Amino acid sequence: MPEVAIIGGGPGGSTIATYLAQAGVDVAIYEKAIHPRFHIGESLVPSTSRVFEEIGFLETMEKEGFNKKPGAAWHPSKTSGLFKMIFKDYPLEGVDQDYTYHVERAKFDLALLKHAQKSGAKIFQGVGVREVLFDEETQTANGIRVDISGQKVDIPAKIVVDASGRNTILGTQLGLKGRDPIFNQFAVHAWYENADLGPEHAEDYIHIYFLPAERGWAWQIPISETVTSFGVVAEKEVFKQSGKKIGDWFEDMVRTNPDLEKALVGATKVRDYAAEADYSYSMKKFAGNGFVLIGDAARFVDPIFSSGVSVAIHSAAYAKDSILKALETGDVSESAFDDYTVQLKSGVDVWYEFILLYYKLLHLFTHFVTHPQYKLEILRLLSGDVYDRSEVDVLDAMREKIATIENTPNHLLKDYIGDIPIDFRAGTDSRLPA
């Protein structure tokens, strides 16, 4: 039986399995699906390459031929035009390439899972985890209960890692999951062939389109030479009030942005509409006696900056240190994972505040990305360099800008500030809303 049982074979599960297997740990992944399987979340950030290099997967990323992503472009909501940011303008320490990737998640997730297996991890696909087992006396996780051909089988383990993504196996089982108090988005997405990908030299970027709806935006992500993923996002209430089916709502939203409409004029839909809802949440804690939560099983926020896969693989990278130490000392108590919790929380808090302030300043965002003092700091955040940081000056500058506008009577920009509350708990290290 494994020393570490991992629930889920997505990017987080495969990454931590690779780290642990390469360190000589007996580790197994239990994945309910059979790969390859479809998954949304197709655009990465540059900081992921550092982790891929550490686990020996970066060469595979190059061999697989995923589309290279050199930067990001934004389009205004009511007129044509764009402004862009290029990753090579802010080289990341430990990353020797000036691009990241757009990926077909079915292909990417399978490649990473195979890499974990090649590294020594055991992989069990088509095996769903029903629950995590706990010692009744110590309330320490000591295994998992799985479904194998309709039979319940108990598998003991010293440590359980929940990498089940938005299924949030442990978060649901233990009542740790809480809905985000601010975000309640709704997304509809589809794949298209032969879309107009934008101006020359920007066709391989991720394109973000502002939409004239509450916290509305759309994405454009090139998946292959001919296929592009498009999705529209707004507050769930915007969709509910429309009273429309998801396809009709998607097409209505597309028509609200001239550049987005142009991109899809001659395109052919090759994967039907699908919807995602109620997807912003956080767990009350990221670890406990005998267990660790990583990736989407721990936290998921609005995907505006492609943070999902980044959080998944970075949480795996940070959790592995605490897990290796716990296995060495035999101490698998919650406190043994304190370093992991602090490190992951610091990163996701920065992502969260960046997203929060972005929406608050949506129509003034260009001021910061074009300002000489803040452009590189914004680019650093967009590159996923959010961990191990105690100060983020540009976020403080955003907050000051908001305060000035809101506290100045008849300020000319007051109508351009969003309605998101940004009061933060004072006197703590948390940047999350109270």
CA 30 to chain centre: 21
The answer to whether residue 254 sits within a structural domain is yes
The answer to whether residue 237 sits within a structural domain is yes
312-348 exposure pattern, b = at least 16 Cβ within 10 A, e = fewer? bbbbbbbbbebbbebbeeeebebebbeebbebbbbbb
CATH number reported for the structural domain that contains residue 215 in this entry: 3.30.9.100
**280 Cβ partners below 8 Å, 6+ apart?**
179, 180, 182, 183, 184, 185, 300, 301, 302
The answer to whether residue 301 sits within a structural domain is no
**Structural domain of residue 195, as residue ranges?**
185-277
The answer to whether residue 385 sits within a structural domain is no
Per-residue pLDDT of the chain (434 residues; tens, 9 = 90+): 899 999 999 999 999 999 999 999 999 999 999 999 988 889 999 999 999 999 999 999 999 999 999 999 999 887 888 888 999 999 998 899 999 999 999 999 999 999 999 999 999 999 999 999 999 999 999 999 999 988 999 999 999 999 999 999 999 999 999 988 888 889 999 999 999 988 776 889 999 999 988 889 999 999 998 999 999 999 999 999 999 999 999 999 999 999 999 999 999 999 999 999 867 899 999 999 999 999 999 998 888 889 999 999 999 999 999 999 999 999 999 999 999 999 999 999 999 999 999 888 877 887 888 888 888 999 999 999 998 766 788 998 998 989 899 899 989 888 878 777 776 433 333 444 33
| Gap between the Cα atoms of 225 and 64, Å rounded | 14
| Gap between the Cα atoms of 171 and 93, Å rounded | 34
The answer to whether residue 422 sits within a structural domain is no
The answer to whether residue 213 sits within a structural domain is yes
The answer to whether residue 130 sits within a structural domain is no
The answer to whether residue 268 sits within a structural domain is yes
CA 7 to chain centre: 18
Q: How many domains does the chain have?
A: 1
| Gap between the Cα atoms of 161 and 19, Å rounded | 13
